[in-house]
Structure 1
Amino acid sequence: MSRDALPPASRTSFRRRLDQIGIGLAGLCAVHCLLTIVIVSAMGLGGHFLLEENIHRIGLLLALLVAAVAIGWGLLRHGRVLPFAIAAGGLALMAAALVVPHGTNEFALTLIGVVLVSIGHWLNLRAAH
């Protein structure tokens, strides 16, 4: 699809929507992390499903795709590197969380990564205005 296939307002609103989706995905990831700790430690239930490795891989893949399109597109449009750099750092921490054992380190890496990705999307939204 060529760049001129959509009017500028539609391209902007689509990118804006992707940033909002990215923030929402980050929030879902944070809720998942917190619920996993609460449910598994308080009740001992749900450990197999909530700690499933594929949930983390799929979440990271979704975060990468949404951030690549939304924040990459924003970088090309407004030229500000800060949203891209912060989101990239967050995605790197989320990826690092995949290679450490389940536990405090994984939780901390994921949560800090999610917060940084959200900040990157938020900065990208602000830079577009």
Structure 2
Amino acid sequence: MLQRAISPIRRKLDRAGIFLSGACAVHCLLSIVLVSGLGLGGELFLHPDIHRVGLVVATLIAGVAIGWGAMRHRVAAPFVVAMTGLTFMGGALAVPHGFEEAILTIIGVALVSLGHILNLRHVHSAACKERCGD
């Protein structure tokens, strides 16, 4: 009974993680275009705190949603993929602002998003197996 209540929460967290990963990728691309191409918004878009906060939020959401899924379904792939993505995102904090940072961040958020997608697929397949009795 408790697991049925938990599953929708985890699904929402996975969906939030996918949305935030996409928003982060858009932020990176827009930052490059606006700051490099037009010289606008450097102080706002490239502020290091945005990236630090983003990494903390991504780590919390991925840790809860994907960690929960890994423990429940005993499937490591979503966890490994997402943690690899978080490592890329952390690496992006270690390089100067610019192209390298954006590439590392985009690779990272793509992997974190893929981890959430894989996690959602395992939730769906587990629910299907439960309903169908497999």
TM-score normalized with structure 2 length: 0.90
- Consecutive aligned runs of 4 or more in structure 1 exceeding 4 Å deviation: none
Structure 2 matches for 1:81-92, cutoff 5 A? 81-92=76-87
What is the CA RMSD across the aligned residues, in angstroms? 0.9
Match of 1:117 among 102, 112, 115: 112
* 2:16 alignment partner AA: I
Unaligned runs of 5+ in 2: 125-134
Distance in 2, matches of 1:7 and 1:102, equals 45
Query: Which shows bigger deviation, 41-50 or 77-86?
Result: 41-50
Structure 2 equivalent of residue 97 of structure 1: 92
Equivalent residues in 2 for 1:19-98, closer than 5 Å: 19-98=14-93
Aligned residues: 124
- Could you say which residue in structure 1 is the equivalent of 2:127? none
Paired with 2:75 and 2:10, the residues of 1 have a C-alpha distance of 15
Structure 2: how far apart are the matches of 1:92 and 1:8?
A: 30
Which piece of structure 1 moves more, 33-42 or 64-73? 33-42
Q: What does residue 15 of structure 1 align with?
A: 10
Unaligned runs of 5+ in 1: 1-5
Percent identity, aligned pairs only, is: 55
